[in-house]
Amino acid sequence: MSQAPTGTGVRTGADGLSRCPWPYSGGPDYLDYHDREWGYPVRSERGLFERLSLEAFQSGLSWLTILRKRPGFRAAFADFEPDRVAAFDEQDVQRLLGDASIVRNKRKILATVTNARATVALRGQGGLASLFWSASPPAGPRPARMTEVPAHTPESAALAADLKRAGFAHLGPTTLYAAMQACGVVDDHLRGCFRASSGPEA
């Protein structure tokens, strides 16, 4: 969920569970993503690289579009293994530009390769997970309505600056706040949502 969607408080689904309102706009795929993935902590390098890559591809598009294309992205980008993507060359870029299973945007494709190389380079400085999770904000009150959920924060702006200095591309404060939400750095499940609690880590 890359931008705060319209809506108010939680909604109760046909299954009797109360949820944030946004997953109801996208059918079963969105509900499953909300229930099983969004907001659970992601601390592995590969997992974070994948989420950052997908969030960057989402910029200007619907997250549901990216979610439904994720199997194609994983196949095209070597399951987002940073070392493998870092080795991509111009032939790989041309291959990706011809792959209809992903979003064929050259700037975003090149940024993904750039970010894979930056991810590998960060290992000598504590690693991507350490830098990403350093953006954790102070605990605050849980939002009750979607209008209380920000699109970006001072922490996401600081993280954007840190990642840019580390050589990452195409990751601004809004994109990074979406990644922070998705990866559990912040917990923006609304008050009353059944997922407004801790869950398994990835």
Annotation says 40 is catalytic: no
**How far apart (Å, rounded) are the C-alpha atoms in residues 125 and 114?**
17
The yes-or-no answer on residue 24 being catalytic is no
How many CB atoms are closer than 10 A to CB 22?
21
How far is CA 197 from each of CA 10, 168, 178, rounded to the nearest angstrom?
15, 32, 19
78 three-state secondary structure: helix
Catalytic one of 22, 30, 33, 177: 33
Residue among 55, 133, 155, 177 flagged as catalytic: 55
**133 annotated active-site:** no
DSSP string, 85-103: HHT--HHHHHHHHT-TTS-
Q: Which of 22, 63, 133, 177 is catalytic?
A: 63
Instruction: Give the N- to C-terminal CA distance of the chain in Å, as an integer.
Output: 18
Residues identified as active-site: 33, 55, 63
